[in-house]
Structure 1
Amino acid sequence: MELRQLEYFVAVAEEANFTRAAERVYISQSGVSAQIRQLEHELGAVLLDRSGRRCTVTAAGAAALRHARDALASVNALRQAVDDVNGLIRGRIVVGMVTACTVAPLFDALASFHTAHPGVEITLFEDSSDRLVESVRTGMADMALVGTGSAPPKGVETLPIISDRLVAVVSNDHPLAGRPRTFLADIAAFPLVCLPTGTGVRAVFDQACSAVGIEPTITLQASAPGAITDLAARGLGVAILSESMAATRHDGVTVLPVDDILSPALLTLIWKTGKNPALRELVRHSHAAFESSPEPTQHVHVEDDRDVTHVA
């Protein structure tokens, strides 16, 4: 008994026609007939009734059909298991990350994955969070480190990395500089310097203002947190950044907590569940790397707002 005989038998049983079955398995009709007759001879029973216009299974054929399908399914599972292993020996994994963000545990995960599976090519690229999310959704990227200002993206798996509150950054001679903390109503009384619409921190800030009915005056925008801080240091407005972005102190500014911005920002690793065995392994290495990191926030160096996302 051969697997191809079972395949041909299942094809004829499902198509109820030798010609269509032959087209399905890509051999001649005579070849299908010959192999099924050989199978029937070996089993000692007629499996197919060929007397009518439609070919139907006999009682013996019906009994054999389920087992034939199970056998073929088992063979396919075996092939998939081997393909999974081969996929880890030779393959490619594409990882995206927000621009100018250094996260040591992610790099640790990539390093340990490369050590375990040196035959898998790793491609790493930078982009904005919205484009990275779309890349993962469409399969252009396997995994990405992203941030948004709303709930985590739908249609992907997520691993939150770091929660980060928003702060106000002002020049040392600003009227707010002498306060230990501030509120949205206080900072909204001044011109504001913010990151662009669509970035994580900006979305969190806009949502917080909307929740209390405040319409802030945003006079300047820049996509680099360092530029935002420099503009605030020169007295051009109150800068809105995440706490980690403002962690690199500037001699000319004061950093103030904003007590009524309750939603933090969150840096998140995302991926889409699929059949890629290399991705499954990288996810496992990523979990291990971040879980073994005692203080994840100490490993995160953020230079771009697209590094964060709002807690769901």
Structure 2
Amino acid sequence: MELQQMRYVLAVAETENFTRAAERCHVVQSALSHQVARLEKELGARLFERTSRRVRLTAAGEAFLPAARQALEAAERAKAEVSAATGEIRGKLAVGSIPTVAAVDLPAVLRDYHLRYPQVRISLRVGSSERLVEQVRDGTLDAAFLGVQPAFRPQGVNDRELAHGQHVAVVAPGHPLATEKEVDLSRLAEEAFVDFAEGSAARAQSDEAFAAAGLRREVAFEVSGVELMARMVRHGLGIALLPATFAAELPGLRTVPVTNGPVRVERLVWSRFTPSPAASAFLALLDAGTRPPAG
């Protein structure tokens, strides 16, 4: 069994097509198909069901895939460790972030990291705080930036607080609140809101603030991204509550301080397992871990 065969199986599983898998792996289709067939013969089981329209994993293929991924990741980690021992940081760095991160200038951090460690392949995933914690815990991500309520403590990962700040009301320039110097939640409760999905950490910060004040509000529009939220607010469809530092950067909108508004804590989380050289270097750059290896 060879690592290249595992890469071919993974490519076929992800593309569900031998031709596209061969293109991704930069080989001719006949060579890729031959190697997959050799592996199936060695394993004594078919990994794929092939039809004229698509390719699907068999039960054996479903069982084989996680172990194959682990083997490939272990091989990549071994190469990265050897490179680090010789003074060069290589490998992969997978970072996650909420859309509204404000505690760090993430593009600038990733740029600095890339300039310092150009041999590392960097990837970024944006998502909810809850999902990001899961991905760090299961090893899909090396580190992630969260935005959560003050009492939230992520389980199964290392973490530290980065910033602690207030939300502000975000309104269209022509909105009656746009000229106010300050507003409280009782006044905001009269408005229709644009907010994130119910049950998410981003939504919970605002929901809990209204509940604590004994108030109810109407969330007329639920969205998954800040860009759509900002556009809807600009068009006067509702108002929003967002972290002050982040909201200040949204063009064409007005922000109003909220006297008893929601509080958000931004946290950095990273795996409890020994970080790869690439991840260790990233954490050190953020002053969250040990000093980076030489590189």
Tell me if 1:86 matches 2:82: yes
Question: Amino acid of the residue matched to residue 271 of structure 1?
Answer: W
Q: Secondary structure at the match of 2:245?
A: coil
Distance in 2 of aligned mates of 1:152 and 1:256: 29
What is the CA-CA distance between 1:244 and the residue it aligns to? Answer: 2.9
Tell me if 1:194 matches 2:190: no
What is the CA-CA distance between 1:231 and the residue it aligns to? Answer: 2.2
Tell me if 1:107 matches 2:110: yes
TM-score scaled by length of structure 2: 0.58
Structure 2 counterparts to residues 72-221 of structure 1, below 5 A = 86=82, 88=84, 91-99=91-99, 103-104=106-107, 106-108=109-111, 110-111=113-114, 114=117, 118=119, 121-128=120-127, 129-149=129-149, 151-221=152-222
Question: Amino acid of the residue matched to residue 110 of structure 1?
Answer: Y
Q: Secondary structure at the match of 1:245?
A: helix
What is the CA-CA distance between 1:156 and the residue it aligns to? Answer: 1.5
Larger Rg: 1
What is the CA-CA distance between 1:194 and the residue it aligns to? Answer: 1.5
**274 and 84 in structure 1: CA distance in 2 versus 1, 3 angstrom threshold:** farther
Distance in 1 of aligned mates of 2:233 and 2:79: 56
Q: After alignment, is 276-285 or 136-145 more displaced?
A: 276-285
Question: Amino acid of the residue matched to residue 106 of structure 1?
Answer: V
Distance in 2 of aligned mates of 1:189 and 1:244: 25
Q: After alignment, is 184-193 or 96-105 more displaced?
A: 96-105
Structure 2 counterparts to residues 17-96 of structure 1, below 5 A = 86=82, 88=84, 91-96=91-96
TM-score scaled by length of structure 1: 0.55
Structure 2 counterparts to residues 213-252 of structure 1, below 5 A = 213-251=214-252
What is the CA-CA distance between 1:249 and the residue it aligns to? Answer: 4.9
Cα deviation 1:245-265 (Å, max 9, x = unaligned): 3213544x432111102x532
Q: Could you tell me whether the CA contact under 8 Å between 2:100 and 2:246 is conserved in 1? A: no
Q: Secondary structure at the match of 1:125?
A: strand
What is the CA-CA distance between 1:210 and the residue it aligns to? Answer: 1.4
In structure 1, stretches of 5+ residues that fail to align are 1-81, 290-312
Distance in 1 of aligned mates of 2:284 and 2:95: 14
Distance in 2 of aligned mates of 1:162 and 1:204: 15
Q: Could you tell me whether the CA contact under 8 Å between 1:170 and 1:177 is conserved in 2? A: yes
- Aligned equivalent of 1:267: 266
Tell me if 1:284 matches 2:284: yes
Q: Could you tell me whether the CA contact under 8 Å between 2:230 and 2:250 is conserved in 1? A: no
When the two chains are superposed, the root-mean-square deviation of aligned CA atoms in Å is: 3.1
- Aligned equivalent of 2:65: none
Q: Secondary structure at the match of 2:232?
A: helix
Identity %: 24
Distance in 1 of aligned mates of 2:100 and 2:203: 18
What is the CA-CA distance between 1:134 and the residue it aligns to? Answer: 0.4
Question: Amino acid of the residue matched to residue 273 of structure 2?
Answer: G
Question: Amino acid of the residue matched to residue 286 of structure 1?
Answer: L
